[in-house]
Structure 1
Amino acid sequence: MKEFSHGGDIYSFAKSIGCNIDEVIDLSSNINFIKPYIDIDFNKLDIQAYPSYDNLYNAISKKYNIDKDFIQLFNGGTTAINSLFKHLDLKNCDIYSPAYLEYKRCAKIFKYNIKLINRFENITNQATPNSFVIFVNPSTPDGLYYNIDELMNEWIDKNCTILIDESFLDFTDYKSAIPYLYKYDKLYILKSMTKIYSSAGIRIGTLLSQADNIKAIKEKESIWNISEFDSNYIQSALRDKDFKNISDLENRKAKDYLLNILAISDYIEKIYPSDANFILVKLKNINAVDFQKILSLYKIMVRDCSNFDGLDDKFVRIAVKDISLISQLASSLIVHL
């Protein structure tokens, strides 16, 4: 697998197995299978004028209970990551791995010295002083949430610049690192609207930090970096007051069902604890490529995790989706026992 390949490329997958895109059962993408209610008519949007983001900033400020001056919006989380690496221009980058692959890619592009800290081993007292620390919480590709209070103390003591990626935190009820923003001026937090609101095509990433940091970033960013369509979609999603409860309930039921299926499969050696909407498994007596070949017979796509640091060709990630789709995974595994 290519070094920085991602999951969710259903177009290439459909072409490779000779089926239509709408026939693919995509268990590789970690996008929420529950969608919010969108109460706007896109045909009636005024797109003649340049977009104004005041209402969007107000909505995000309310959601995260944070001052608007602490918010900078980007055309997706990946764009925010790229911009922050460029803006900080530091020397060393410590990535708690495995992690979202864009962090390593950006660190290479901007010529940081990279240190990978294995999360599956000892993670305390590992950070390099004065480095740019990357920590994804809940993690990827395993989805585990960490209480990072002890780590935060270590990073602050070592004068590190910190980025906490909370892209999947909305799938949990765990606490955010946002309170630390008021205590430490070298902390940044990344929020992704894409994952929870099932909108990979709607590109909005939110970077949170102290007002002076955000001001410095804004000065180097484009004035208009989000479309009127993106802005209105997210505002509408945020107005759906029932979404959180419905999403939590349906994801919990589907995840329990998926875990039960994986627990009885002869293909699975280990299931990793997950607090997010996906599950990392280690395969038994088969590698990820051959496992995917079996599932391809049923037009099912999972995420080969062999290109994540610290993992090999025995690891795959399976996303939580509608129970009807997971049941097809169950059927395919039973047939090939």
Structure 2
Amino acid sequence: MENVTSLVRPNIASLKPYSSARSEFTGENKILLDANENPFELWEMEKINRYPDPLQTNVKQIIAQIKGIKPEQLFIGNGSDEAVDLIIRCFCEPASDRIAIFEPTYGMYSVCATINNIGVEKYLLKDDFCIDADSFLNRVTKDVKVVFICNPNNPTGNSQKFGVIEQILSEINGLVVVDEAYIDFCSDKSVVSLVNRYPNLIVLQTFSKAWGLAGARIGLAIANRQIISILNRVKFPYNIGKPSLQILKNSLSNKALMEKFIAQITGERQNLYEQLKQFSFITMVYPSEANFLLVKTTNAQKIYTYLLDKNIVVRNRSHEPLCSNCLRITVGTPAENQILIETLKKLNL
């Protein structure tokens, strides 16, 4: 066989993978303000020698009580990305069905769809980054099986109105996935309470952000028991390692600590919001209900490169629709945020 790449499925050969800023640099001692993690280290890994419970029964009971749902309405995945992929694989027929997204938004929806040879219908958010539900519902095609709504939205930081989400849930002939990765920073905006009312609703949440467990890779899907049963049928048997489950149980037993960090992060977000507005090369700091800020600048690439040279990693989102010359900056520790501001003060632009 001279060229093994000829065996690759065409949609995989042409796939543009999800890009992480961590792949764009090497070295240690970086200030990492690019991936929307919790900057505070909370737990230590524990050694383990046996396979974990494939359905995570015990920890599901704890989570279900916190979320106000039944354990059978809960799927635990290797990050919420696993749930995104499983939803598309389970409910979309390759080469015929499609998903719908509202741009700009989280990139993995399109990546997972493309990997599974599923088309992507893209609908632009309004200038205020809100969904135009009437326009969407008038234009969406019958081939759309799954609609993804990131709420609060990444990279814009804003949330959508309950009424808009309910309108789409009521009128769309398919599943609606509301990705609440950042919901702990604005918990009153969660739509988990709608799961029992709308059988086509799937809510995604994660422990990677507010809970500070990005390295443990634990995400949730909350839906009716029929959907959860299908996801469990397709997932890998031991998709969550026992060390990660132990770390999760430790975290769940200390919810007060998580709430303390949320308060600190949201306070730092406001401080960072005010300080970033002082710079002449920053023309807009968008309001945020997440743990990051979207910042419009006069030259995003130059600022991004300058900060990277100073060991500060942010995300350049300029290639996203409606995000020309925009950087996304994760809220770091007080010390990290201050270093960012002091570094920007030395930028001549």
- 8 Å contact from structure 1 (residues 99, 309) kept in 2: no
Match of 1:113 in 2: 119
- Between the two proteins, the alignment pairs up a number of residues equal to 322
- 8 Å contact from structure 1 (residues 129, 160) kept in 2: no
Cα distance in 2 for partners of 1:81, 1:62 equals 24
Which residue among 260, 272, 281 is the counterpart of 1:267?
281
Deviation at 1:77, TM superposition (A): 1.3
1:95 aligns with 2:107: no
Aligned partner of residue 150 in structure 1, secondary structure: helix
Cα distance in 1 for partners of 2:337, 2:186 equals 21
Gaps of 5+ in 1: none
Cα distance in 1 for partners of 2:306, 2:171 equals 50
Match of 1:153 in 2: 167
1:160/1:49 CA distance change after superposition, 3 Å: closer
Cα distance in 2 for partners of 1:173, 1:228 equals 28
Counterpart residue type for residue 81 of structure 1: V
Aligned partner of residue 219 in structure 1, secondary structure: helix
- 8 Å contact from structure 1 (residues 202, 230) kept in 2: yes
- 8 Å contact from structure 2 (residues 157, 289) kept in 1: yes
Match of 2:10 in 1: none
Per-residue displacement from partner, 1:139-189 (whole Å, max 9, x unpaired)?
000111222323322332232310000010012232311122111211111
Which residue among 54, 57, 61 is the counterpart of 2:60?
57
Cα distance in 2 for partners of 1:299, 1:332 equals 10
Poorly superposed stretches of 4+, deviation over 6 Å: none
Aligned partner of residue 37 in structure 2, secondary structure: coil
1:238/1:190 CA distance change after superposition, 3 Å: same
Deviation at 1:199, TM superposition (A): 2.2
Percent pairwise identity:
21
1:163 aligns with 2:212: no
1:177-188 matched pairs, under 5 angstroms: 177-188=191-202
Match of 1:6 in 2: 19
Which residue among 64, 81, 84 is the counterpart of 1:81?
84
Match of 2:132 in 1: 123
Cα distance in 1 for partners of 2:170, 2:302 equals 45
1:72 aligns with 2:83: no
Which residue among 323, 336, 342 is the counterpart of 1:311?
323
Counterpart residue type for residue 334 of structure 1: K
Counterpart residue type for residue 190 of structure 2: S
Deviation at 1:212, TM superposition (A): 1.1
Counterpart residue type for residue 288 of structure 2: S
Gaps of 5+ in 2: 1-14
Cα distance in 2 for partners of 1:244, 1:184 equals 30
1:25 aligns with 2:31: yes
Cα distance in 2 for partners of 1:224, 1:74 equals 10
- 8 Å contact from structure 2 (residues 51, 242) kept in 1: no
Cα distance in 2 for partners of 1:42, 1:246 equals 24
Deviation at 1:5, TM superposition (A): 4.2
Higher deviation after alignment, 253-262 or 240-249: 240-249
TM-score by length of 2: 0.86
Aligned partner of residue 188 in structure 2, secondary structure: coil
Counterpart residue type for residue 163 of structure 2: D
Match of 1:294 in 2: 306
- 8 Å contact from structure 2 (residues 32, 314) kept in 1: yes
